[in-house]
Structure 1
Amino acid sequence: MKVVAVKPQVPSVFVDESLDRLINRFFGPEVSFGPFRDSVENRPAVNIVETEQAFRIELAAPGLNKEDFNIKLEKDTLSISAKKETTTVEGEKVKVREFAYSSFQRNFNLPKTVNAEAIEARYENGVLFLTLPKKEEALPKVQQISVG
């Protein structure tokens, strides 16, 4: 399975938002000036496992609800995104914000062997699991040969 690199927007962890925007304008969002800036550009970690029957994608996204995810398949590209609004309480100032998964998007190029009609997803204990079954013709064939 091929992973497509996507350059998502990196949310700020600076107390002064205008300073963060100024730095990003000159150096780009991938430069890490903040003490708690996430070095992997705020993308959730992904495991991709292949078995004889299917591929399995495991995407770590704690703190989200299953309704926050948007999963779509367009041609051979599987797109997984989520957006969660950050809430603040009146009268409080956030000094450090390390919760990084307020929004993200990951794209995956699927191999031709995936049965796109049978993809399943479930969200459990902060991990999004996607099962991508293989097409019948891609499954290993076992033929029994009798001894004569």
Structure 2
Amino acid sequence: MLLRSATVRDLDHVTARVFDSATRNSGARLDAYRIDDTFYIDIDLPGVDPASIDVTVDRKVLTVRAERRRPEQEGLRMLVAERPTGPITRQVFLSETLDTDRLEARYDNGVLTLSIPVVEQAKPRKIAVAV
């Protein structure tokens, strides 16, 4: 049996956090999909105070920032702390075909849902063929 010292255990935790954070996307996983003429992005933000969520669009780059904090209670002593805390940032590059001026955001059950209409010029249209 291999006995692990506190130093080795700490190194394991740091290594896991570094490599896990690269694949975790700052704790904000997302789904993107389109229904009819609206593009949707669902971003998982469990445990985030809705007041801390900041959504901006700058030159078709959508940026979502939020902060997940650990509850502060007197006498609280954490025994296991695996859930990530701190600032969360996620960026998405948007297509020119989306009308970001009409972007809407809704936070429900730990999921931020962004809905962005497709611009009128980008919608498919039928072309009559002359004979």
The one of 6, 19, 22 equivalent to 1:31 is 19
Identify, as 1 or 2, the structure richer in helix: 2
The one of 47, 59, 80 equivalent to 1:96 is 80
Q: Distance in 2 between matches of 1:100 and 1:70?
A: 19
RCO higher in structure (CA 8 A, sep ≥6): 1
User: Higher mean Cα deviation, 110-119 or 87-96?
Assistant: 87-96
Residues 91 and 28 of structure 1: CA distance in aligned 2, closer, same or farther (over 3 Å)? closer
Residues 95 and 39 of structure 1: CA distance in aligned 2, closer, same or farther (over 3 Å)? farther
The one of 43, 63, 77 equivalent to 2:27 is 43
Unaligned runs of 5+ residues in structure 2 are 1-6
Unaligned runs of 5+ residues in structure 1 are 1-15
The sequence identity of aligned pairs, in percent, is: 22
Tell me whether 1:80 sits opposite 2:64 in the alignment. Answer: yes
Q: Distance in 2 between matches of 1:80 and 1:97?
A: 24
Say whether the 8 Å CA contact 2:62–2:94 is kept in structure 1. Answer: yes
Q: TM-score, normalised by structure 2?
A: 0.75
